[in-house]
Amino acid sequence: MSTSGTSNPEYVNARVRARRAALFSDDEYQKLVRMSPAEIARRMEETEYEAEINALGTRHSGVDLIEYALNRNLAKHFDDLLDFSEGQLYDLIARYLRKFDAWNAKTIIRGLYVGADRDSIETDLIRAGEFSDRMISRLLDAGTIEDVVTILNGTIFGEGLTEAYADYEETDLLVPLENAIDRGFYGHLLDDLPNSEPVQLYREFLVAEIDFRNARNALRLARSGADIDPAAYYIDGGKLFNPSELNTLVQNQEELVSHIRESSYGRELTDVLDELEDADSMISFERGIEKALLAYSKRLGNVHPMSVAPVISYILAKEREVENIRAIARGREAGLSQAEIESELVIL
Amino acid sequence: MMANMTEIANVVLQEGALTDPTAAAALAVGLAAFGAGYAERGIGAAAVGAMAEDEDLFVNGLILTVLPETLVILALVVVFLV
């Protein structure tokens, strides 16, 4: 509930472990891959997602229903996590969940940019972050992007956004605003973390996530061959690249891959890097780094049960589940084959 | 908190104030009870969390929560020895 007082990892972890056990298993994904979107929705009604499917069933149908139910369920669980936890634990969880605040802020700005109406923006929000319902409805009521920037003043995104707004006015492009939000999030992720062993490992995990994100962006840039300044997409705080390295590596994919191979992540990523070089497929590389991150967080959770680690591992696993089910539903709708859908899934 | 308790015990023993065996026994039982309470704190929190997710765990949770009480029961032996 608050950041004062001592943390209560025993309570939170007991609840998180029970919820983790309710996640979909390997076998269930196998079944889902063979179902149509309507059947998936019906199957979801028999599980965890019953309340959400029932609540949204009258307004949406098909893949939309699945997607909104997934998002709402995700938001419910993550909000619960913030409710349960106290003290330092709350702070550590909130740091990570602010990424949904970033997502919501970006969604609202994008919605206003393309002139979407309030309702359709609202359905796309994931209310899992730290923003209160009141804050979100204020943001939704804002008529212009400038108002949104003003309201966000005072949050962690405020500082960068105000500067970026000037850029936006000049260029009329959303990129500066979105970058400012991302940087606000990542910039505060590693701010004055307390000093203890599990927290240091948590920090390592966050650094790994930033590194992977940088690596993915760099690879995408290298492959697209587009003439974009890589520094604009660089996220601070990682240890894999520094900005100038990134600038030269983006020119050459082979050097980039060997740079990653020589880094401390090399061992975990050997397989996917081999695959990337052989098959030249970005999909398996991206799935590979997500899998590596998931496996790492799970191991961390088992090694340090009385810390924030199991919670983070649950958050990642839940996010993966939501993305997996969404990929299955969207894939089935688009008529992809089973093998193609399975290559999109991340199953540990 | 636990650190404070051992400190208090140290001070009491060093000053030589504790010459009465009955008082020493009482202190021993009291410290054991403290230990049991501290252990139950964590187990109880976890047990309530588990119960909130699944009510069938009530019996298991209750049993595990009171297990550290054995510390106090064993410490009570001291009372009969003095």
Q: Does residue A78 contact residue A100 with C-beta atoms inside 8 Å? A: yes
Closest CA to A342 of A69, A23, A32: A32
Nearest CA in chain B to A306: B42
**Which positions ≥6 away from A51 have C-beta within 8 Å?**
none
Contacts of A18 in chain B (CB under 8 A): 49-50, 53-54
Answer whether B52 sits within 8 Å of A15, measured CB to CB.
yes
Give me the mean pLDDT over the A13-18 stretch. 91
Q: Does residue A82 contact residue A129 with C-beta atoms inside 8 Å? A: no
- Report pLDDT for B29: 93
Contacts of A84 in chain B (CB under 8 A): 49
How many Å separate Cα B30 from the centre of its chain? 8
Contacts of B45 in chain A (CB under 8 A): 8, 10-11, 14
Which band of pLDDT confidence, cut at 50, 70 and 90, is reported for residue B61? Answer: very high
Contacts of A8 in chain B (CB under 8 A): 45
Token pair 């990523």: residue: A269
Which band of pLDDT confidence, cut at 50, 70 and 90, is reported for residue B73? Answer: very high
Distance CA A41, CA A39 (A): 5
Answer whether A11 sits within 8 Å of B43, measured CB to CB.
no
- Both tokens of residue A240? 């894999």
Q: Does residue A107 contact residue A125 with C-beta atoms inside 8 Å? A: yes
Is a pLDDT exceeding 70 seen at residue B3? no
For chain A, what are the domain ranges? 190-307
pLDDT tens for A118-151 read 888 888 888 888 888 888 888 888 878 888 888 8
What distance in Å separates residue B58's CA from the closest CA in chain A? 13
Give me the mean pLDDT over the A233-262 stretch. 75
- Nearest residue, CB atoms, B42 vs list A10, A18, A19: A10
How many Å separate Cα A136 from the centre of its chain? 19
Is a pLDDT exceeding 60 seen at residue A263? yes
**Number of residue pairs across A and B with CB atoms under 8 Å?**
31
Answer whether A11 sits within 8 Å of B49, measured CB to CB.
yes
- Report pLDDT for A289: 81
- Report pLDDT for A1: 46
What distance in Å separates residue B23's CA from the closest CA in chain A? 34
Q: Does residue B59 contact residue B70 with C-beta atoms inside 8 Å? A: no
Distance CA A190, CA A193 (A): 6
Residue A153: strand, helix, or coil? strand
- Both tokens of residue B15? 């000053």
Closest CA to A219 of A270, A177, A259, A184: A259
Contacts of B50 in chain A (CB under 8 A): 14-15, 17-18
Q: Does residue A306 contact residue A7 with C-beta atoms inside 8 Å? A: no
CATH class of A190-307: mainly alpha
Nearest CA in chain A to B45: A11
Answer whether B53 sits within 8 Å of A19, measured CB to CB.
yes
pLDDT tens for A73-101 read 999 999 999 888 888 888 888 888 888 88
- The residue ranking higher by pLDDT, A6 or B55, is B55
Which band of pLDDT confidence, cut at 50, 70 and 90, is reported for residue A269? Answer: confident
Is a pLDDT exceeding 60 seen at residue B66? yes
Is a pLDDT exceeding 60 seen at residue A2? no
List the single range of A16-20, A21-25, A170-174, A232-236 with lowest mean pLDDT: A232-236
- Nearest residue, CB atoms, B45 vs list A8, A17, A19: A8
- Both tokens of residue A21? 């056990």
Distance CA A115, CA A97 (A): 28
DSSP A58: T
- The residues with which A155 forms a beta bridge, in sequence order, are A153
Token pair 């290559």: residue: A343
Q: Which residue type is seen at A273?
A: L
pLDDT tens for A165-189 read 888 888 777 877 888 888 788 878 8
Answer whether B43 sits within 8 Å of A14, measured CB to CB.
no
